[in-house]
Amino acid sequence: MKRIFLLLVATLVQISAPAWATEIAVMSGGAPKEVLTVLIPEFERRTGHQVKVNYVLISALRQKILFGEIADLVIMPNSVIDNLIEARRLKAEGRDTFGAVKLVAIVHKDAPQPDISTPEAFRTALLKAKSVIYSTPTSTPSGAHMASLLSQLDIAEAVEKKVTYRPALEGGVAMVAEGLAELGIYPSSEVIHVKGVTSIGELPDSLQINLVYGAAITASNKTAEPALALVKYLASPDNRGAWQRAGFDPPPP
């Protein structure tokens, strides 16, 4: 009887899944990882589609798409999406925006919390820190922004002597949690649920970068309906709370 029951359940599952259910190949930057981990299983349950996400540093992701990497859709900063649409690697039709992340400074959960409330205070915090860590300037928008910021604050030479370049996807935030780096600078979504670190706040507005994330279908995608359904689901107002809990502000109007 048990075997018959299991066969019946399997049959019902097959019947309930859409006949057109397929696998959706997604390539994404690291910032949305937390929220995608939450939202994608529910999308799979509702639609029967299976979603395979490959998280890639933004610079590498851009290069992969430019050189013909096969994927159904990409999730990345809108500025990069715009560039890839111009290069005819992504489609403008069906694209959408999910939210924006800002840069925050983090320290070990038991460490003193320096003041970063003003540009001068942030500059002082960088100079006083024994070690600093942020993403590789050539790999991510946040890392490139930090490199530019150090020059703007006229402390590039002093800070570069003690900086470690490590994207969050490659363990950068974990190094702060483990006490291997004193002060870290990362997008809010990449630190919000990491144990062992404390966010001491967003960078001052005049030093801030506003990374707006969205999604677009690849030009090589010939059966775009499943991927479009995923984009629509992720951008749904019903899921706004999940994006905010993952460190994303509402998308700009």
**Number of compact structural domains in the chain:** 2
* Pair (107, 201) in one structural domain: yes
* Pair (117, 201) in one structural domain: yes
CA distances from 198 to 43, 109, 177, 184 (A): 32, 5, 9, 10
Q: Which amino acid is at 215?
A: A
Domain with residue 180: its CATH number is 3.40.190.10
Residue 253 domain-assigned (yes or no): no
Residue 28 domain-assigned (yes or no): yes
* Pair (181, 222) in one structural domain: no
Answer whether residue 91 shows pLDDT above 90.
yes
Residue 250 domain-assigned (yes or no): no
Note the pTM of the prediction, 2 decimals: 0.85
Average pLDDT over residues 53-64: 94
**In whole angstroms, what is the distance from residue 28 CA to residue 161 CA?**
32
Average pLDDT over residues 55-72: 92
* Pair (120, 202) in one structural domain: yes
Q: Are 72 and 44 in contact (CB under 8 A)?
A: no
Residue 44 domain-assigned (yes or no): yes
Question: How high is the pLDDT of residue 138?
Answer: 92
Answer whether residue 12 shows pLDDT above 60.
no
pLDDT in tens, 159-208: 999 999 999 989 999 999 999 999 999 999 999 889 999 999 999 999 99
Q: Are 74 and 81 in contact (CB under 8 A)?
A: yes
Residue 134 domain-assigned (yes or no): yes
Residue 94 domain-assigned (yes or no): yes
* Pair (154, 91) in one structural domain: no
Question: How high is the pLDDT of residue 68?
Answer: 84
Where residue 179 falls (left for φ over 0; alpha for ψ -120 to 50; beta otherwise) is left
* Pair (39, 74) in one structural domain: yes
Range of 126's domain?
Answer: 103-207
Question: How high is the pLDDT of residue 20?
Answer: 66
Q: Parallel, antiparallel, or unpaired for β 183-187 and 96-101?
A: unpaired
